[in-house]
Amino acid sequence: MLFDSHAHYDDARFEPDRDVLLASMPERGVSRILCVAANLDSADRCLELADRYPYVYAAAGVHPQDAETFDPAEGDRLRAQLAHPKCVALGEIGLDYSREQPDRDLQRAVFSYQLRLARLLDKPIVVHDRDAHGDTLSFLKDSGCRGVVHCFSGSPEMARELVALGFYLSFTGVITFSNARKTHEAVLAVPKDRLMIETDAPYLTPVPHRGKRNDSSYVRHTCEKMAELCGVSFEEMAALTYANACRCFGIPD
């Protein structure tokens, strides 16, 4: 029983075989998947998949790289998506300073709008933080929100601060890479009841499949590595991360 807490099945790279692939997941050991939106059109597609597959859940929100697509006049559309019974989180939202665009002030405005909405609706959030650790942490500190920081790439100190704020931390196939020393230290800084695993499919394919398109069945490699780092069995880590994700998103296990 594995819970892939972050995947993008609305991505065009799944066009040729999306349905065959999703239908095969339970027999490949993956019993829950959170399909995370990048913008409001993407959220509609994630919700369609959640309607079709009992083990697929959705998150609706606007990714910092898509900040330009968001018009506050569409706030009602986002609220309607969040009201869907299988929409268990607001995401992914956050800050991404890895490129010049979109404008950082715009990213911060869209992030802060969605944090207020999450607080108002008491919805967990899925946070994207790339090269923006300081600003992300200070926004989250003031937000009063709870949820998960996905694909965590910060320091062990930042991990501890997020845990103290009540957040879960999710790790991708990056922990299977040989140069992931700092991320391994961050895993060890997180209490076992706050860890999650994810693929971020179709991106970040773990070893030994690096270079191929990622999908939820490969989350087992991340689970294996995390089990090794924490000194527990694969089964124990699978059960722990499954229970943690269910608790974070309010999904019955």
- What does the binding site for Zn ion look like in residue numbers (CB under 5 A)? 200
Q: Give the shortest CB-150-to-Zn ion separation in angstroms.
A: 6
**Which of 63, 69, 6 is CA-nearest to residue 32?**
6
Q: Give the shortest CB-70-to-Zn ion separation in angstroms.
A: 16
Which string of DSSP letters, residue by residue, matches 93-137?
EEEE-SSS-S-HHHHHHHHHHHHHHHHHHT--EEEEEES-HHHHH
Q: Give the shortest CB-204-to-Zn ion separation in angstroms.
A: 9
H helix runs in the chain, sequence order: 18-24, 40-52, 75-82, 104-121, 133-143, 156-164, 181-189, 219-230, 234-249
Q: Which residue in the shown chain puts its C-beta closest to Zn ion?
A: 200
> With respect to Zn ion, which residue has the nearer C-beta, 30 or 227?
30
Q: Give the shortest CB-232-to-Zn ion separation in angstroms.
A: 26
Distance, in Å, from the CA atom of 70 to the CA atom of 244, rounded to the nearest integer, reads 31
Q: Give the shortest CB-34-to-Zn ion separation in angstroms.
A: 10
> With respect to Zn ion, which residue has the nearer C-beta, 4 or 200?
200
> With respect to Zn ion, which residue has the nearer C-beta, 60 or 227?
60
> With respect to Zn ion, which residue has the nearer C-beta, 46 or 240?
46
Distance, in Å, from the CA atom of 117 to the CA atom of 226, rounded to the nearest integer, reads 33
**Which of 151, 236, 232 is CA-nearest to residue 197?**
151
> With respect to Zn ion, which residue has the nearer C-beta, 15 or 76?
15
